[in-house]
Chain A
């Protein structure tokens, strides 16, 4: 076919040889680097990610695209570029083949399909170029705060980020020049010029080169083609060096995503709880102790900073920034498994790559995981690292006492077992609470857990809950001295064997009680019983129970004379993010007559952790301020003066924070059960 300019493959044998060299070097180097990068995955701990394949496929295509626009501009830019990559992948195949043949027989070249595809890809390429320019300007001039690199974590990542986007922009521009020069030549020679949609980049290019001589056009056409080829394969080879590796790694990482919220990975996949004693070592001590999925996570991270932007520990100046957990581990992997030379001997991660305080700083609130567009996991890694530290005896003194108390007495304060039911005495006349151990039975078991049993203030939650169960006519009882701490945090702080003991004990007691269902007012207990324990009767959080009973008309409410009060609901992490219970507690509050409720900006799945529950109450972190104080201020900004929580730990932290923030008298905190009990019309 006659063409207006000589196509690259028509420039002679040397040109074809050049194409061959570029393609060969590019593909060869990429394959080599990829192979080197994934070496640690073969030495990693096992992981089980092969189940529920259809859920995985569906999540892979849905979740990231719901999450990306949570940061709207960044999300829009990214989705544009992503769509660009998908659409332009065909064009890039064409371009590579054009290095060898002027008129490649590819299915998207022919007839109407070819014409339509050309128009679409030109629109898309233009959109990608615009997106790249916006991205670069945003990154270089507007500098969103979440991209900043704190000094302790090294240099700014901005040059790397801009370089990657600039490469994509270059690909767009070079293709526009390549195609635009051809169309300009066709027009000059009065041939049937290819249709270019006005306004697209290539249309501008064709106009830009409109007056250029044939010789210039030929040079532009040839040079832009080979530059495109070099940039394209250069880009490919550059991918495994940094954040752009997510182009390759995100798909496998997403397909292997964690599907079960609220759970914690087993100490080692494939080893049952009763075989744990046979393991030589526990948890992650060196890099190779991570599972292959967790290593994939490190490579897949796009360094977008959303995890740390949502991390409450990071917000209050604790040493933890989840983003840099990933970055530091990734840098370690790259250094320990170099492109050239032998694999380096592995070193303990704690002290060399990560710090103890960093790992203990995490409240396991899950905000990072909820936000990550690539569904990278953090909690399981934290738990695994803690398991390793516990195994090595590296536990802060502040946590050793409560752990030892739980071991000896079943509660972190070391209070006597026989006093576990004492909170019932104050309400014994109004609300009799049975202890179901052998002699007495009850249909519903109220699992109280340690803090509600022993803390003077939190006992009021227990009493309110008992009253609500009693009012609804529930046949309920408690385990009393036979109940031990649910162990939600014991497990998440890495003391797996102590957790197993607690679980075995409680399971035996719950089953022995003959109860048909379990209700708890403590989301941490709720989470542990629901996800960490096995074969228990169904478990409900009191908010679910109340929502159900209110719908059934079991309660009569009265309005309180407190018109000036504006309520806001604080989502506890273990109720909301870990168990998707956002609507029930709100429905309960909204069912109370005369209650005015507003939501905070950070609510539901973006709720901000109160400071952490369970053992986190005992940990003494390095921090600039308390998470609770920040949270109380958020409630104030929302125009609320009462914070309703549905978790005893949230209540402790909120009440403390109100005092620390000096907002006593202006702000108060109350538990959902207490609030509902206040409104009972008796």
Chain B
């Protein structure tokens, strides 16, 4: 099975303190560290497991600048066979639809049976998977937490209320958006990354993909970001101050006072 997994390089939420620039145009990026979006990491692991079971290959793809290569290499160290970087100044500032447009062009240049995305990105809005499927006119299952390959079809699962599981059948080729927890992604060590450090990763620009630059990028974005701000504290909200110990003590006090703890 030929599998394409769309991945994204995002600020690592576990290892950054996200603060907003005073002018509200962006978050402060000077001290940020980046990694592959967590949901995408699960998608790549799932793709590798499917490939190991039924054969084929896994390609990871991302839209971004040269630094996007870093996440592609990490996913290749994990076990993906190929990486493709989609990079062009014309792509900058694309909204979700723009990104889906770029990815669609790249998908059509290859021949894939299965396209996977993360269910959402840490810094995203969970748009691309669905839009990409619609643009490709392919069946789409979202929030997938289980994949079984079954004679040229897939059975895909989704968690529903109460911890129950729903199973759906879907024809190939299709697009899946993958939920975290579907598997346990393997560890990628420094050594693994070094081993793929010199593997060639092709970079495709708008021209290579046959994309009209006017249909993507900031200019074509129909959803435009206008502001970032920290919300005012609402009525009834309280932010505990002090050291960790003090905060915990206050929290316990509050819980006890309101009868939450006995």
**A residues in contact (CB < 8 Å) with B:** 276-277, 282, 390-395, 397, 399-401, 403-405, 407-409, 414-418, 456-457, 495-498, 501
Given A405-B15, A456-B244, A390 and B194 contact (CB-CB distance below 8 Å) = no
**B residues in contact (CB < 8 Å) with A:** 12, 14-17, 31, 33, 35, 78-79, 184-192, 194, 243-245
Contact assessment for A393 and B188 in the assembled complex, using a CB-CB cutoff below 8 Å:
yes
* Chain A residue at minimum C-beta to C-beta distance from B17: A416
Task: Give the shortest distance, in Å, between B193 (CB) and chain A (any CB).
Answer: 9
Contact assessment for B194 and A497 in the assembled complex, using a CB-CB cutoff below 8 Å:
yes
Contact assessment for A418 and B31 in the assembled complex, using a CB-CB cutoff below 8 Å:
yes
Contact assessment for B190 and A456 in the assembled complex, using a CB-CB cutoff below 8 Å:
no
Task: Give the shortest distance, in Å, between B37 (CB) and chain A (any CB).
Answer: 14
Residues of chain A within 8 A of B188, CB atoms compared:
393
Residues of chain A within 8 A of B187, CB atoms compared:
390, 393-395, 399-400, 403
Residues of chain A within 8 A of B186, CB atoms compared:
392-395
Contact assessment for B15 and A456 in the assembled complex, using a CB-CB cutoff below 8 Å:
no
Residues of chain B within 8 A of A277, CB atoms compared:
191, 194
Q: Which of A392, A393, A408, A497 contacts B15 (CB 8 A)?
A: A408
Give Cα distance in the complex from A443 to B70, angstroms.
40
Residues of chain B within 8 A of A497, CB atoms compared:
189-191, 194
Q: Provide 29 A-B residue pairs closer than 8 Å at the C-beta atoms, listed in order of the A residue.
A: A282-B191, A390-B189, A391-B191, A391-B192, A393-B78, A393-B186, A393-B188, A395-B187, A397-B184, A399-B187, A400-B185, A403-B187, A404-B15, A408-B35, A409-B15, A414-B15, A414-B33, A415-B15, A416-B16, A416-B17, A416-B31, A456-B244, A456-B245, A495-B190, A496-B191, A497-B189, A497-B190, A497-B191, A497-B194
Contact assessment for A414 and B190 in the assembled complex, using a CB-CB cutoff below 8 Å:
no
Contact assessment for B189 and A498 in the assembled complex, using a CB-CB cutoff below 8 Å:
yes
Residues of chain B within 8 A of A456, CB atoms compared:
243-245
Q: Which of A401, A408, A495 contacts B189 (CB 8 A)?
A: A495
Residues of chain B within 8 A of A418, CB atoms compared:
31
Number of A-B contacts (CB under 8 A): 67
Give Cα distance in the complex from A574 to B189, angstroms.
26
Residues of chain B within 8 A of A414, CB atoms compared:
12, 14-16, 33
Give Cα distance in the complex from A188 to B187, angstroms.
82
4 nearest A-B pairs in the assembled complex, by CB-CB distance: A393-B186, A414-B15, A395-B187, A497-B190
* Chain A residue at minimum C-beta to C-beta distance from B244: A456
Give Cα distance in the complex from A394 to B186, angstroms.
6
For B15, B78, B184, B187, which residue has the most chain A Cβ atoms within 10 angstroms? Answer: B187
* Chain B residue at minimum C-beta to C-beta distance from A399: B187
Give Cα distance in the complex from A392 to B191, angstroms.
11
Give Cα distance in the complex from A498 to B187, angstroms.
13
Give Cα distance in the complex from A408 to B33, angstroms.
7
* Chain B residue at minimum C-beta to C-beta distance from A457: B245
Give Cα distance in the complex from A248 to B196, angstroms.
47
Task: Give the shortest distance, in Å, between A585 (CB) and chain B (any CB).
Answer: 27
Contact assessment for B192 and A393 in the assembled complex, using a CB-CB cutoff below 8 Å:
yes
Residues of chain B within 8 A of A501, CB atoms compared:
190
For A395, A401, A404, A497, which residue has the most chain B Cβ atoms within 10 angstroms? Answer: A404
* Chain B residue at minimum C-beta to C-beta distance from A279: B191
Task: Give the shortest distance, in Å, between A507 (CB) and chain B (any CB).
Answer: 17
Give Cα distance in the complex from A391 to B191, angstroms.
8
For A414, A457, A496, A501, which residue has the most chain B Cβ atoms within 10 angstroms? Answer: A414
Residues of chain A within 8 A of B184, CB atoms compared:
397
Residues of chain A within 8 A of B192, CB atoms compared:
391, 393
Residues of chain A within 8 A of B185, CB atoms compared:
397, 400
Given A418-B31, A456-B243, A407 and B12 contact (CB-CB distance below 8 Å) = no
Contact assessment for A408 and B12 in the assembled complex, using a CB-CB cutoff below 8 Å:
yes
Give Cα distance in the complex from A233 to B16, angstroms.
70
Residues of chain B within 8 A of A392, CB atoms compared:
186
Task: Give the shortest distance, in Å, between B257 (CB) and chain A (any CB).
Answer: 21
Task: Give the shortest distance, in Å, between B43 (CB) and chain A (any CB).
Answer: 16
* Beyond known contacts A401-B14, A497-B189: 4 more, CB 8 A cutoff: A390-B189, A390-B191, A395-B187, A414-B15
Task: Give the shortest distance, in Å, between A337 (CB) and chain B (any CB).
Answer: 30
Give Cα distance in the complex from A457 to B188, angstroms.
32
Task: Give the shortest distance, in Å, between A448 (CB) and chain B (any CB).
Answer: 19
Give Cα distance in the complex from A4 to B126, angstroms.
102
Task: Give the shortest distance, in Å, between B28 (CB) and chain A (any CB).
Answer: 11
Give Cα distance in the complex from A90 to B180, angstroms.
71
Contact assessment for A405 and B14 in the assembled complex, using a CB-CB cutoff below 8 Å:
yes
Residues of chain A within 8 A of B191, CB atoms compared:
276-277, 282, 390-391, 496-497
Task: Give the shortest distance, in Å, between A132 (CB) and chain B (any CB).
Answer: 51
For A393, A400, A498, which residue has the most chain B Cβ atoms within 10 angstroms? Answer: A393
Contact assessment for A409 and B245 in the assembled complex, using a CB-CB cutoff below 8 Å:
no
Residues of chain A within 8 A of B194, CB atoms compared:
277, 497
Residues of chain B within 8 A of A404, CB atoms compared:
12, 15, 35
Task: Give the shortest distance, in Å, between B39 (CB) and chain A (any CB).
Answer: 15
Task: Give the shortest distance, in Å, between B118 (CB) and chain A (any CB).
Answer: 17
Task: Give the shortest distance, in Å, between B96 (CB) and chain A (any CB).
Answer: 27
Give Cα distance in the complex from A498 to B191, angstroms.
8
Give Cα distance in the complex from A415 to B14, angstroms.
9
Give Cα distance in the complex from A394 to B15, angstroms.
22
Give Cα distance in the complex from A400 to B187, angstroms.
6
Residues of chain A within 8 A of B243, CB atoms compared:
456
Residues of chain B within 8 A of A409, CB atoms compared:
15, 33
